[in-house]
Chain A
Amino acid sequence: MAGAIIENMSTKKLCIVGGILLVFQVIAFLVGGLIAPSPTTAVPYMSVKCIDVRKNHHKTKWLMPWGPNHCEKLKDFDEAVSRQIEANDIVFAVHIPLPSKEMSPWFQFMLFIMQLDIAFKMDNDLKENAEITLDVSLAYRDDMFDDWKEIAHAIEIRKLKCTFGSPKTLESEGRHYDCDFLPFMEIGSVAHKYYLLNIRLPVNERKGINVGIGEIKDIRLVGIHQNGGFTKVWFAMKTFLTPSILIIMIWYWRRITLMTRAPVLLEKVIFALGISMTFINIPVEWFSIGFDWTWMLLFGDIRQGIFYAMLLSFWIIFCGEHMMDQNERNRLSGYWKQVGPIAVGSFCLFIFDMCERGVQLKNPFYSIWTTEVGTELAMAFIIVAGICLCLYFLFLCFMVFQVFRNISGKQSSLPAMSKARRLHYEGLIFRFKFLMLITLACAAMTVIFFIVSQVTEGHWKWGDITIQVNSAFFTGIYGMWNLYVFALMFLYAPSHKNYGEDQSNGDLGVNSGEELQLTTTITHVDGPTEVYKLARKEAQE
């Protein structure tokens, strides 16, 4: 990968390219900040307490909280006591969405969390490590007058993690426990207009089911879905970015195949990075508008994972290939120590994701965090992945340090070198420093924007203009890494120019079509071909 475009480009042209990229970067931020709404919406739902009056005769299975066929409602549980209604006859019903609204495939996913309002009673205290057993079923319909069709039914156990702020005396009876919210449901596609949840809390004293869970006052759900507007902007962005990266990728590969030598490792890695970027970019999500593909969420995770793994590998290999020491690398196996942790870490996260979102394809109420074993397993996967990441960064930092050490070593001996060698090393150093700079800038931008979007509230207001910080973060950072890959493929593609062409005039013109194969791997210029080539070059000079 000798003589990349970046080395032979004049500063002016480089500035122009940089400027154009910057303009696109700003556009990416503005698209998210000004056009798109906030990425997600949380809708609070209060469950309605229905009485299941049918007992054993199955007339309708589904109980509606409101609307023309709504169930017989209980105002509160004092009413239930006076009417001698049992816990097993009570069904908590939630209709999604709220009245006069419709769900839409543009929402992409739905996830629900559950909050229990449990009142403190002196003689009905919450048991230590209490577990609640939920009998949940989910149904859908696309027309207000259709019958409900079941999607899923499950019996789920959730641990209650509650604290009580006040002293447990008679005085504080009626105060609510402070309970952590429970993960409840996750669906990877919103293909239907209306959904209905029926939740039961069956009591079985003999088996100890739902005993000692305190006095439940209410069940609240919070539904989170992606905003349709954000989805549309996101799709538009992907649809625009896919061809841009694809075109530069084809151009890049054509340049490499035009050369007489085989592509080196670094060139292949950059190409692979381009492929993984395109893989993320390809807007297959368009299909989710027409089809009920619940696996899209999982697929999106996998695509992102592949890109991250590729990006991390690229950094390592880039450093390695600019090491300027005497080692022959140029093959992936030379990097097993550094790439190994990436592979292990990504694999761990993949397994974890399969255990969580993979199982959710079958049972949307499943969560790995609800059981003790599951939690430990999940934590183990995440910790291993974390360790791998730390290990990776240690390696990376060490390698960057080594490269800089070698650079300073080489710089002192630069004046003594022959012109070709000097230019070769200067090119290497410049290439490395340039990538180092933009990588750090991109990483810093990502981190800063991540922190800003976490810390501040969702939007900023300047007069009449509202800026959606979170959306700007997503589109901006996504655009930024696309531009990063784009710039990488453009600037680090092999140049057709030769070293020194800029300085010399005319007499080197004969060489212009020829590629000087100073591969980065064989940096010490003593291989037979290199010697030959350099000799020839010097002879020409």
Chain B
Amino acid sequence: MSPEALSNLALVSQPFPPNQSCCRCRYLAKLSSVGSISEEETCEKLKGLIQRQVQMCKRNLEVMDSVRRGAQLAIEECQYQFRNRRWNCSTLDTLPVFGKVVTQGTREAAFVYAISSAGVAFAVTRACSSGELDKCGCDRTVQGGSPQGFQWSGCSDNIAYGVAFSQSFVDVRERSKGASSNRALMNLHNNEAGRKAILNNMRVECKCHGVSGSCEFKTCWKAMPPFRKVGNVLKEKFDGATEVEQSEIGSTKVLVPKNSQFKPHTDEDLVYLDSSPDFCDHDLKNGVLGTSGRQCNKTSKAIDGCELMCCGRGFHTDEVEVVERCSCKFHWCCSVKCKPCHRVVEIHTCR
């Protein structure tokens, strides 16, 4: 799924995707697999982006690679977090990539929006630190982007740039519609919650470097959490997501919890409008793959257990011989020398 990552992202943040034929989307997939987005024309060929995003793409060509990587990261993380659930964040070859599940205002959509905007912020910030982007940090500070500013007082954190870029690139879809529909409000909120999941989990690290290493001089900085951590945080928010409805306070429209007994959600919480389907049956029209053929855990009573996963349809049990790697010798990178070990395992698959 990685080649179509960029299109995924574009579609992820698109509530009502145009009905496009499959050929076009394959073309997109091919396009991004060719390599980096290095020419302005490429931006126009990226379907799924709205006009304002195409303009941003042209203006920030060097950042687009990171956007694509961020989308990829988001999808991988989503699939990791949902590997044991009925909906496993599977992407389709057709448009929209996540199926209609995500185009409705469900919990799952909330998660996908949040992790995507977080992924973009994360990848852009990372690219800043590795020197791939020219105008991080310093550009957005009060001191200005001249080398003088860097020499006088250093630059602001790269995360500020990453988040700001994610805000302007991802949120522009919703904002361009005037941000008044409840879907737009929900998406904007969840996008922001995704970025907050990074910002609020930044680790503060300090180094003492005074006389003889004393803490007379101490410098602190903020380090980004690993993306797995961001995924875990958002998964928790997914589990505790708040169902909301639109309400008008004065002339501004806001989302408030449907059940007024619940305490109002914060900036970091995920919100959703519609309840999710049960994801049991194969329903291509809505992009639901269904759980038949999925592996399940016989002993578990949780959602990955066969009982729940197979929606009561029962399961097959097969004895399969698997070849595993064992007594491996690893290097820190790249080289693995293992012996093949054969093992017979029971695999349960849903009917």
Contacts and interface: CB of A to CB of B under 8 A. Distances in A.
Interface of A: 37-48, 65-66, 77, 80-81, 84-87, 90, 95, 97-102, 104, 106-107, 111, 113, 115, 117, 121, 123-124, 174-176, 181, 201, 203, 205, 210-211, 213-216, 220, 222, 224-225, 227-229, 300-301, 304-305, 349, 352-353, 356, 382, 450, 454, 458
16 contacts: A42-B220, A43-B155, A45-B131, A48-B131, A77-B334, A81-B334, A98-B136, A101-B150, A107-B151, A123-B326, A175-B226, A210-B331, A211-B331, A222-B223, A224-B207, A382-B212
B305 to A, nearest CB: 15
Contact of A176 (B152, B211, B228, B336): B228
Contacts of A174: 80, 228
A30 B309 CA distance: 66
A216 B147 CA distance: 34
Given A37-B152, A46-B126, A356-B212, A115 B223 contact: yes
Given A115-B223, A215-B330, A349-B212, A228 B129 contact: no
Given A101-B138, A224-B209, A41 B131 contact: no
B325 A123 contact: yes
Given A66-B132, A222-B221, A229 B153 contact: yes
A456 to B, nearest CB: 11
B59 interface: no
Given A174-B80, A349-B212, A352-B212, A104 B331 contact: no
Contacts of B126: 46
A37 B154 CA distance: 9
Contacts of B138: 101
B153 A38 contact: yes
Given A40-B217, A101-B147, A454-B215, A228 B152 contact: yes
B249 interface: no
A66 B333 contact: no
Interface of B: 80, 126, 128-138, 147, 150-155, 157-158, 205, 207, 209, 211-213, 215-221, 223, 226, 228, 325-326, 328-336
Contacts of A227: 152-154
Contact of A203 (B151, B209, B215, B332): B332
Contacts of A113: 207
A301 B211 contact: yes
Contacts of B212: 301, 349, 352-353, 356, 382
A520 B151 CA distance: 53
A46 B205 CA distance: 16
A98 B147 contact: no
Contact of A106 (B128, B134, B151, B331): B151
A228 B219 contact: no
Nearest to A473: B216
A224 B147 CA distance: 17
A176 B155 CA distance: 28
Given A40-B217, A42-B220, A304-B211, A203 B331 contact: yes
Contact of A40 (B134, B211, B219, B335): B219
A447 to B, nearest CB: 12
Contacts of A48: 130-131
Nearest to B330: A124
Nearest to A88: B331
Contacts of A214: 332
Contacts of B217: 39-40
Contacts of A382: 212
B211 A305 contact: yes
B218 A454 contact: yes
A175 B225 CA distance: 11
Contacts of A86: 331, 334-335
A340 B332 CA distance: 52
B226 A117 contact: yes
A382 B220 CA distance: 24
B205 A181 contact: yes
Given A86-B331, A300-B211, 4 more contacts: A46-B129, A222-B223, A227-B154, A353-B212
A37 B336 CA distance: 50
Contacts of B153: 37-38, 41, 227-229
Contacts of A225: 154
Max chain A CB contacts within 10 Å: which of B80, B128, B218, B333?
A: B333
B207 A213 contact: no
B155 A99 contact: no
A47 B80 contact: no
Closest 9 CB pairs of A and B: A41-B154, A37-B153, A42-B221, A46-B130, A229-B152, A46-B129, A228-B151, A124-B330, A40-B219
Contact of A44 (B151, B223, B226): B223
Contacts of B133: 99
A307 to B, nearest CB: 11
A97 B150 contact: yes
Contact of A111 (B137, B209, B223): B209
A101 B221 CA distance: 20
A13 B61 CA distance: 70
Contact of A43 (B154, B209, B325, B331): B154
Contacts of A38: 153-154
A87 B329 contact: no
Nearest to A83: B334
Contacts of B330: 121, 123-124, 215
A66 B131 contact: yes
A216 B330 CA distance: 11
A288 to B, nearest CB: 15
Contact of A45 (B129, B134, B336): B129
A95 B131 contact: yes
A168 to B, nearest CB: 15
B231 to A, nearest CB: 10
Given A44-B158, A102-B147, A224-B209, A124 B328 contact: yes
Contacts of B328: 123-124
A98 B128 contact: yes
Contacts of B218: 454
B131 A99 contact: yes
Nearest to B204: A457
A378 B209 CA distance: 15
Nearest to B158: A44
A130 B129 CA distance: 27
Contacts of A356: 212-213
Contacts of A81: 334, 336
A519 to B, nearest CB: 37
Contacts of B219: 39-42, 224
B10 to A, nearest CB: 21
Contacts of B221: 42, 44, 222
Contacts of B80: 174
A349 B213 CA distance: 10
Nearest to B127: A46
A44 to B, nearest CB: 5
A220 B224 CA distance: 11
Nearest to A102: B147
Contacts of B137: 98
B75 to A, nearest CB: 15
Contacts of A450: 216
B191 to A, nearest CB: 24
